Amino acid sequence: MRIYTGFDDTDTTDSDRGTGKLARWMERELPEGCRLWGVVRQQLLVDRAIPYTSHNSAACAIVESPDGFLLEAVIERAINHIRRHFIPGSDPGLCVASEESPVLPELMSFGRLCTEKVVTQQDAVRAVDGVHLSGHGGTNDGIIGAAAAVGLTAYGWGGRFVEFGRLRDFPEVVTVFELEKAGIAVVSVDRDAGLPVLGDVVDTKGWLRPRLWGGKAVLPVTRKGEKAWETLEERKSRMKDKKGGE
């Protein structure tokens, strides 16, 4: 069973770590029997009416659990994780829901709404309808992004992975075979949409970040040459990475 664990607003502009990094560190805190399937960064609306640290993004850790009995343990450990690692001055929020929750469709709609318009804490509370949602400091505005991160990730058609297996251990140029062996599907988005084959190589430009498409890790690529492909994006500096980032 998957448990979606959403975090938001745990950092400040001058902190040495971002919310994505805190979500990745959640792997260390998981109960025995659970494993981290991946961590997805979700981009929310950027608007002058919304206070945010740098890009108004939230993060969702996708935890695989053998059964639903560990849900409360995941929630408890996520709360303690935030308390240990959030940055004073931030407005951290947490949302946790299992894939079996009957309110996931409402959370999905809420997540999509957060990419289109300004919403409130009250909107988030109404959307979760009994699913765990908690604020842990400041204005508690982080509950909005945390709930949105869960909804968008459960929806399965948006966001990019900041952790998936040993994502950061791959070399800059890697074969399609190695990526697919790791569970990352390689898909051409060229006009002619040729098929990358297992022996082809992919230039990741030193920044391998698959997308969440159809509930799976998918790496969109374009043709670079004969039997060679490249990713669409390369790393953009985030205030010179702030020493933190994702």
Q: Bigger pLDDT: 6 or 238?
A: 6
For residue 221, is pLDDT > 70? Answer: yes
58 by Cβ neighbours in 10 Å (0-12 / 13-18 / 19+) ranks as buried
CA 141/CA 149 separation, integer angstroms: 13
CA separation for the pair 13, 238 (Å, rounded): 10
Sign of the torsion angle spanned by Cα atoms 30, 42, 37, 154 = positive
**CA 246/CA 243 separation, integer angstroms:** 10
Structure tokens, 43: 């981009």
The chain-wide mean pLDDT, for the chain, equals 91
pLDDT at 242 (0 to 100): 42
Query: 10 vs 14, 29, 58, 176, 181, CA distance in Å?
Result: 12, 17, 9, 36, 34
* pLDDT tens readout for residues 138-172: 899 999 999 999 999 999 999 999 999 999 999 99
Band of the pLDDT at 126, cuts 50, 70, 90?
Answer: very high
Which is more confidently placed, 130 or 246?
130
Q: What's at 49, amino acid-wise?
A: A
Q: Which two tokens stand for residue 168?
A: 């950061």
Kindly report, residue by residue over 42-99, the tens digit of the pLDDT: 999 887 777 655 578 999 999 999 987 899 999 999 999 999 998 888 889 999 999 9
**Domain ranges (residues) in the chain:** 2-161, 169-231
Q: CATH number of the domain at 2-161, please?
A: 3.30.70.2200
